[in-house]
């Protein structure tokens, strides 16, 4: 299955969200997910959405509303 090319605006928005995480996202990332045994990605694009955290291996998405 071929993935469609990512929308440029989604890529730019995801990058800016990674740089400007909310305090709640920072706490979850730096205290738990960054060193978790299963790899998580920050601000993962799943068009048309940008997920706060995503684990491909577990097929788990985490959305934080701060």
| Residues in Cβ contact with 47 at an 8 Å cutoff, skipping those fewer than 6 apart | 4, 6, 7, 10
| Within-domain flag for 64 | yes
pLDDT of residue 18: 93
| Within-domain flag for 12 | no
| Alpha-carbon distances of 21 from 1, 18, 43, 59, rounded to whole Å | 32, 6, 9, 22
When pLDDT is cut at 50, 70 and 90, the band that residue 65 belongs to is: confident
Render pLDDT for 3-50 as a digit per residue (tens, 0 to 9). Answer: 566 688 899 999 999 999 999 999 999 999 999 999 999 999 998 899
Q: How many domains does the chain have?
A: 1
pTM: 0.82
| Within-domain flag for 43 | yes
Domain around 48: 23-66
| Within-domain flag for 38 | yes
31/50 Cα distance (integer angstroms)? 22
Best CA proximity match to 24, nearest among 51, 61, 63, 56: 63
């Amino acid at each position: 299955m071929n993935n469609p090319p990512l929308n440029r605006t989604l890529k730019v928005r995801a990058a800016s969200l990674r740089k400007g995480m909310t305090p709640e996202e920072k706490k979850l990332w730096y205290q738990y997910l960054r060193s978790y045994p299963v790899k998580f990605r920050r601000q993962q694009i799943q068009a048309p959405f940008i997920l706060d955290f995503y684990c491909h291996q577990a097929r788990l998405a985490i959305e934080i509303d701060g």
